[in-house]
Amino acid sequence: MMTSIEHVNITVPDIDEAIRFLKIVAPDFEVRKDEKPSNSYRWAHIGNEVYYFALQEPHLDADPKKQLQTYKNYGINHVALVVSDIREIEEKLLDSGYHRGIDTPVEKHRKRAYYHDKAGFEWELVEYLSEKTSEKYFYE
């Protein structure tokens, strides 16, 4: 059995905005559950039949105003998703007002792009152009 990631749990400032972004980059994702208990914070699960993101609002007593400083503070630097048509997704992201992150080199066996969602999280999109593991993960 190969180990795989089942879900990623992220505290976000706006669950609806996070769902909007994820529906663009992963159109097969559906909201599995969206709850707001009266005495707690809102949470939602969005994904497909195998993988999902667990999104939650900050806990009631938290101060969520501090800006993310990826690669400097502890926490998530970026989340990478394998996609099937990176150019189409990029077009939709740009049309929806999202901004591209760092430039990536042209590679023979994969295409990559980085985007930031409205909360400032960085997402890496990867489209593999080969099924061979040795080519998919060849660092040019």
Is residue 97 in a domain? yes
How many structural domains is the chain composed of? 1
**Per-residue pLDDT reduced to its tens digit, 88-139:** 999 999 999 999 999 998 999 999 999 999 988 899 999 999 999 889 887 7
Is residue 65 in a domain? no
Question: Hey, which residues does 10 pair with through a beta bridge?
Answer: 55
Q: How far apart are CA 140 and CA 131, in angstroms?
A: 17
Question: Hey, which residues does 122 pair with through a beta bridge?
Answer: 116
Domain CATH for 11: 3.10.180.10
Q: Is 82 helix (H, G, I), strand (E, B) or coil?
A: strand
What sign for the dihedral angle of Cα 69, 71, 74, 79? positive
| In contact, 11 and 18? CB cutoff 8 Å | no
Domain extent for 52: 7-59+77-136
Is residue 19 in a domain? yes
Is residue 2 in a domain? no
Q: How far apart are CA 140 and CA 138, in angstroms?
A: 6
Is residue 66 in a domain? no
**Per-residue pLDDT reduced to its tens digit, 13-53:** 889 999 999 999 999 999 999 999 888 889 999 999 999 99
Q: pTM value?
A: 0.83
